[in-house]
Chains A and B, each alone.
Chain A
Amino acid sequence: MTTLNQFLNVILFMALPYVVAVTFLLVSIYRYRTQPFTYSSLSSQFLENKSHFWALVPFHYGIILVLAGHFLAFFIPRGVLAWNSVPLRLYALEITGLALGVMTIVGLIAGLVRRFTTPQLRMVTSPLDWTLYGLLVTQVLTGIGVAVMYPWGSSWFAATMTPYLWSIVKFSPDTSYVAGLPWLVKAHILNAYVLLWVWPFTRLAHVLVVPNPYLWRRTQVVRWNSVTETKAR
């Protein structure tokens, strides 16, 4: 049993992250260069505009803020720990995180119901989209589960996940940090890997092309066909 566990640990927490990272990078770049037309999400606000707001807005704000929390704990674990040293601040952080998680799942479920009950939307939902919904629901539900059953994650993340993830980034993977974690936490991690793995194949690609240059480009866009003319004007 121990050997099997060790074997699984190596496969899932040492090898898998690299497989995911390589796939993510290669496919993202390959798809961007060869199939730029497909590189977006597929908005359905045009086909159904009544419950669209109640699904899309809570989901997006929720998931972006929750992910931002994960990134904070990854990049500045000491800062998060210092913040948590006062109990009241720890409670505030945990409750906020949980609330955002609930907001995300509410939006996600609303989106699922919306897609399932509107015949027009079913026509623009591919099997891959349904799969993605399944993965996202799993991810958010396990996340909420971890927050409820193993509280103070904002603190223990810094002691387990941060060193583990950094060990992967530094190409010296050390699974000892995660080997002893409860299965629910492990499921959350593994599902995240699966999500990242399918990411570049799905509509999630739209996250990689968020319109940041818009904020500082010139208002009007003019394209000149001749290169020399572009320089002149």
Chain B
Amino acid sequence: MNVRSHVAMMFHLDKCIGCHTCSIACKNIWTDRKGTEYMWWNNVETKPGTGYPTKWEDQSKYSGGWEVKDDKLKLKSTDKHKVITNIFHHPNQPSMDDYYEPWTYDYQNLFNAPEGPDQPTARPISMVTGKPMNVEAGPNWDDDLGGSPIYAANDPNLKNLTEEQKLQLFSVEQLVFFYFPRICNHCMNPSCVAACPSGALYKRGEDGIVLLDQKRCRGWRFCVPACPYKKVYYNWSTGKSEKCILCYPRLETGQAPACFHSCVGRIRYFGELLYDADKIEAMAKLPDEELINAQREMILDPFDPHVISEARRNGIPDDVIEYAQKSPVYKFVKVWKMALPPHIEFRTFPMLFYVPPMAPVMAMRKDDKLTSVSDNLFHDIEDARVPLQFLGNLFGAGQTGKVVYALKKQKAVRTYRRAVTVGDIDMATAEQMLREADCSVAEAEEIYKLTSLCTFEERFVIPPMHREMAMEGTTDPMFRKQEAGFGFMAGPKRSV
């Protein structure tokens, strides 16, 4: 057993209102520089939709993630033998057309335009060329099903859906959508790291954050197609790739990442997981439908004395182990089994998990009348407005079993709380539902509290990063403290 500590995340999709506050918080801090305008380390997608960049989930286009060939785990896009053929021109490289050309507006024209018969306008100006341009795409171009079904019909998750199910998603006055906020998953088995020819991308040993060393990056760009989530972006101005850094400077000072901190829906949870790094390769070779269980197995029980002693033997400090025991992500992922990894069939083992949305629509319009789809107060999971197969393609590697389990538990907890607070549901019925959903009353109370009443501290359980201890091996922390904040920083300029 090789116990490592890993920061992990959970997004509760049933709470996301799609306000994009997270995206703006991130953009204002990290990606408003030249060459990064088009980068959205955090973005919020509407599902069904094609996402950002367009059709990122379609690996026949981008070749991201891993595949098992001859019982070996290989990168889909650029495994080692393909380095020579792909280095001058990578066939799966996304271009600006797959994102959008960033622009601003010529606001000065509103003030300076000469007097004339028409209102002056602020024309869009390209932030690449500085010339006027026609806006043909943008971030969240298909937000809230805008342009649907032109864009949303291309969603790769619609495969295996019956025509009836598609109709369920798209027909007017029946259509349904939900939001899907995405950041870098800081995967256990990151394909971007494995694909980097320069060794510039790396995983921090102490906490698992995936970072990109700008000084070692040579701009070969294999990371961009290799990441199946398209969360490594190429800076066209500096010629280097950039990605979400999980706000590690904030984490190291005990603050949640900016996108977490600013989330108004309080959908984001941050906590630590202990996992067994020795198992990754064997687990990643398992068939698609076994991958979710495999990842849950790799995540270790932080209360198990054997795990604790192995963690100590690996140099994980006691207070970090203590934080692993308090982790809300551990509860949602491993104990309650309500949070699922996105597209685990890409085999990178994402460390960002999602509680699937219930999309609680109880009635729909039929012949000018609102009709309830179910006799129950909360609709049956099988009748969900979002077809289960769609959620299964997104969160269950094509299978619906794990999604149904998570949704049934959510519904049972709601029914139970309805029985407690309103009382129009019989408590015996509610408890029966809980039993069917594999949930005890105590567990239901805990899920309810952590879902609805959670405080800042309960959502963001940030382990001590111990950078001062990590530093001791190379330099005296007191000396480092004295020189921190003083010195010279060179701008990201390319010329000699």
Q: Using CB atoms and an 8 Å cutoff, list the residues of chain A in contact with chain B.
A: 27, 31, 35-49, 52-53, 56-57, 60-61, 119-120, 122-124, 126, 128, 201, 206, 209, 211, 213-215, 217, 219-230, 232-233
Contacts and interface: CB of A to CB of B under 8 A. Distances in A.
B366 interface: no
B422 interface: no
A232 B83 CA distance: 32
B240 interface: yes
A48 B239 CA distance: 14
Nearest to B469: A226
A42 B218 contact: no
A42 B96 CA distance: 15
Interface string B192-206: 011011110111111
B224 to A, nearest CB: 8
A84 to B, nearest CB: 29
Contact of A211 (B94, B130, B190, B198): B198
Interface stretch (B85-93, B297-305, B370-378, B403-411): B85-93
Nearest to B101: A120
Contact of B203 (A119, A122, A220): A220
Contact of B239 (A43, A53, A122): A43
Contacts of B95: 45-49
A229 B214 contact: no
B478 interface: no
Interface residues of B, number: 60
A209 B198 contact: yes
Contact of A57 (B89, B237, B467): B89
B440 to A, nearest CB: 39
Contact of B197 (A211, A223, A229): A211
A55 B34 CA distance: 26
B229 to A, nearest CB: 17
Interface of B: 2, 80, 83, 87-90, 93-97, 101, 128-131, 189-190, 193-194, 196-199, 201-206, 214-221, 234, 236-240, 314-315, 467, 469-474, 490, 492-496
Nearest to A27: B496
Q: Which of A39, A119, A226 has the most CB of B within 10 A?
A: A226
B194 A219 contact: yes
A44 B90 CA distance: 12
Given A43-B239, A214-B80, 6 more contacts: A47-B236, A206-B218, A215-B83, A219-B194, A223-B204, A229-B473
Contacts of B80: 214-215
A226 B494 CA distance: 31
Contacts of A45: 89-90, 93, 95, 221
Nearest to A229: B315
Contacts of A47: 95-96, 128, 236
A233 B496 contact: no
Contact of B315 (A37, A61, A223, A232): A232
Contacts of A215: 80, 83
A40 B87 CA distance: 13
Contacts of B97: 49
Nearest to B85: A57
A123 B129 contact: yes
Given A38-B494, A56-B88, A124-B236, A225 B315 contact: no
B201 A226 contact: no
Contacts of A225: 204-206, 467, 470-471, 473-474
Nearest to A30: B496
16 contacts: A31-B496, A37-B492, A46-B95, A46-B96, A46-B236, A47-B128, A119-B131, A126-B495, A128-B495, A209-B198, A211-B83, A211-B198, A219-B194, A220-B190, A222-B203, A233-B205
Given A49-B93, A49-B97, A126-B495, A41 B205 contact: no
A161 to B, nearest CB: 28
Contacts of A46: 93-96, 221, 234, 236
Contacts of A221: 193, 196, 199, 201-203
Closest CB pairs A-B (n = 9): A211-B197, A225-B470, A49-B95, A226-B473, A224-B205, A42-B239, A227-B473, A36-B215, A214-B197
Contact of A43 (B206, B214, B219, B471): B219
Contact of B202 (A38, A223, A226): A223
A228 B472 CA distance: 9
Nearest to B239: A42
B205 A222 contact: yes
B134 to A, nearest CB: 13
